Structures are given as structure tokens and as C-alpha cells.
Structure 1
């Protein structure tokens, strides 16, 4: 371990290892799995992944590497077998953390002066310090985000994969278990000043229990991501968004 080194310095080292491991793992996703993940997110045109931007493509690979739908094997496990790191090394700790990472919901409180992002897990409200250089950008305090966290060291919670911006509309759909939608996707930002609506939804004990159960069930990451896509929170979707709203060029 590295107790004498600041969390920021350790994060920088682990971030490089995380990037390497996820990149190499993404190369080990079989085409059949890529297709399954893209179909689950309505990003498959029948022959290939058809995202509108890099974040949507990253969401497909995030599932394929760490949490695939359709009973496919995780590419991170293929990576671990193909290139096992030196036991006890920082790469080994990062790999093990990625293999144990879990997707969940958090509310962002803001950047800390000493580094990291102050947040709390949803629905239990447990405080978190998340290490991510981009997480708090363009997100107001109280913003709801779906993301996956990995702990290469006990005091170092790091994001891995995409961070999905959500709001009370998305939370309500999750609680109602609204099935995936097939209609048009109109790009939308999270609702402004959404805190009171989120608080009302989370104030119900039954809602908190249900959300906890949903988060523990297989496929939660895909469910959250597809909900965000259907609401337009991940931008325009080729084939579902009117052509005039799609990126040009």
C-alpha cells in the first residue's frame, strides 16, 4: 500500500492503469456481445453499433467489459486470464477492483478543495469521496448520476466506465420499472432545480427499498443507461431522433 502518498497521487497512477485495463479488455468483447449490449441500449442498426457520440459508444463497451446483458461473459475476466498482472502489484489491485466494481446511483455535492468529489450513495445516503477529474464538471450540487465505482485501495473510490446524468424523471421510471421505450428520442438536459422532486421520491421507505433491490438485480447498469437514453439525457440517438436534431458532419 501507499499510505505515505496523497490520494491524488495514487489516483493518478491508478487512473493510468484503469485506462489501460479497460482499453485492453474492450478489445476482447466478442462481436455477439457488442451486438447484445448495443441492442439493449437501442444503439444497434442491425449490422453495427450506431452511436451519435463517444459517450454512447463508451456505454456499450462499459457493459461488454464489466456488466454484459444476454448471459455473455465479462471481457474484464478474459483480460485477467490473458494477461494476469504481477500479484500484489498496483495493476493487480486495479484489476481486482474493476472485477468487483458495482454500478449504483450517487448524488454529487461538489469538488473538494483537498481533491476528489464529495457525494453520497442513493438511496442510503452514505457519504462518498469519489476520485474523478471530470465528475463534478457541469453538474450542480445535488445532481443525480449513475456510475460504477471501484476501490483499488480502501480509501480510493474511483469511477470506471461512463457516468450517466439522471434526474427525477429517470428515477421515477426506474421505480415504476417502466420498460424500454421505442419511440422518438428528443435530446434533453436533466431537469434544473430538481432536488425537491428527488427528495420527495426518496422520502418514501418503499421507494428506497425498491431502489435498493433494483440496484442489486442483474442488468441494473443497462436499465439505468437505457432509461437515460429514452429520456434524451444521453443526447440524440440515430434512428430514433429526428434527423434535423442529429449532429451534422
Structure 2
């Protein structure tokens, strides 16, 4: 693959990633689905009850790659059930998915040669992320939580969903705010949040704390739940008051 450009390799790996994640999602036991949904307050007692595809994607991301509640990972079940040929492109992408890590990233913007320039938050290490839809509705400087897989050392791909965040979420993570049970009011990430974000991680101890959280278990679930409680993932069935729900257009 060394003679192929990053764009060509991404085009090759992206459908493999999608297929493997889809197949692995079918191997999540119901008990695990329930555990992930409960952690995100998206379980109604019988089934997952998301308001949109992003919330459902977060449930499956945890079940496939990073489950809470002591459940095993569905990606490992997929690897055992349908092991790809060693050294094949499928094997390369599968290994990347199994090693994928969730973290915080600031997006800088799309590059002319392809990919998205970004930096890891808070340490500022640069990287290029390949995702055809990541910059949609996001301005340069936006903070996201995303899981990245590296099928090649120089090629980072998203896997799972990417969540828009802001300084409110980072502050809660640093303070260790417990999951909330109260009403969820839908909210967009704060615009022009640079100064607030930088102030939160100005001290070395704060940067170290955030890096330790990201390196520890359950960080993705922690970020998803924080975003949900702040309304950054939209209305939550059963938690969002009726008057705060999106209004459906009436008959013409």
C-alpha cells in the first residue's frame, strides 16, 4: 500500500470499516445493548429508545468497541467468528478497529489534498483525519469526541460517531461531575469557545487529568453521557420536556 496515496487508501479501507462494524454490531448480545443504552439513559425498560441516529450510533459504538458493565466487545466476537486472511486489507482494518481509541480532537479544517487537519486536545499533537462528513456543520476550531483507528500508521479514520463538545463538557469531565438524571434541554456547542477551552487546560495538572481520563477505561461512555446531559446530543426521550422537543410542521 506504500505506493497509494492516503486518499486512495482511505477509499479502500472505508467500505471495509463500514462492513466490519455492521457485522460486529449484529453480535452485540441484548444484555450488552441494554447496558450501553442504560448508561446513556436511552433504554426504556424493553428496548433502546434514541431520538436520532447519532444516539443510536453511540450505543452501538460502545457495544462493539468499548462496552460498559463488564460486557465483552462485539468486535472480538466478529474477529473469532469470521477471521480474515492474515495480512489482508480486512485483517489490517480489523486490527485497527480492535485497537481504536476514543479521544478529544480539535478540527482545523479540510485540506486541499484531502483529509482534515486536526490536533489532539489538550496536548496539541497534529494529525490528519479521514472522514467524508466530519466537517459538516462544524467550524474550524470545533472540539469533538471521536474514536480513531489507524489501519496504516499515517492514516487516521473515524469509527463510530463523532460528538460535538464545548468547554462546558470539558469542565464537567475535569470536575468529575456525576451523571445527571434531570431534564435535558437540547443545546448546540458554544461558538467561539477557544478562550474558555484554553483556560480550562492552562494548568499542567488539568491537562494531565484530562489525558489520564482519556487513557482510562470508559472514557467514551463518560463523554457521551456528559454530552447527553448537556443536551449536546439533542433531545432525549423521557428526559426532554415536551415544550423543548422539536416542533413538527402542521398540515398545510
TM-score bucket of the superposed structures, by smaller chain: over 0.9
Equivalent positions of 1:65-76 (< 5 A) are 65-76=64-75
**TM-score for the superposition, normalised by structure 1:** 0.98
SS of aligned partner of 2:150: strand
| Deviation (angstroms), 1:245 | 3.1
Q: Give ranges in structure 2 of 5+ residues lacking alignment.
A: none
Equivalent positions of 1:93-172 (< 5 A) are 93-172=92-171
2:185 aligned partner = 186
Distance, in Å, in 2 between the alignment partners of 1:239 and 1:95 is 37
| Deviation (angstroms), 1:138 | 1.2
| Deviation (angstroms), 1:248 | 6.1
Distance, in Å, in 1 between the alignment partners of 2:152 and 2:212 is 27
Equivalent positions of 1:155-234 (< 5 A) are 155-234=154-233
State the Cα deviation string for residues 119-152 of structure 1 (Å, max 9, x = none). Answer: 0011211001000111112111111100000000
Q: Give ranges in structure 1 of 5+ residues lacking alignment.
A: none
Maintained 8 Å contact 1:28/1:79: yes
Distance, in Å, in 2 between the alignment partners of 1:65 and 1:248 is 33
SS of aligned partner of 1:104: strand
Distance, in Å, in 1 between the alignment partners of 2:87 and 2:212 is 34
Distance, in Å, in 1 between the alignment partners of 2:141 and 2:204 is 20
Equivalent positions of 1:35-74 (< 5 A) are 35-74=34-73
State the Cα deviation string for residues 13-45 of structure 1 (Å, max 9, x = none). Answer: 100000000000000000000000000001001
SS of aligned partner of 1:73: coil
Maintained 8 Å contact 1:106/1:120: yes
| Deviation (angstroms), 1:3 | 1.5
**TM-score for the superposition, normalised by structure 2:** 0.97
SS of aligned partner of 2:157: strand
Distance, in Å, in 2 between the alignment partners of 1:247 and 1:95 is 39
Distance, in Å, in 1 between the alignment partners of 2:187 and 2:11 is 33
| Deviation (angstroms), 1:246 | 3.0
Aligned residues: 248
SS of aligned partner of 1:224: helix
| Deviation (angstroms), 1:244 | 3.4
State the Cα deviation string for residues 48-89 of structure 1 (Å, max 9, x = none). Answer: 100000110010000000000000000000000000001100
SS of aligned partner of 1:14: helix
SS of aligned partner of 1:151: strand
CA RMSD of aligned residues (A): 0.9
| Deviation (angstroms), 1:209 | 0.6
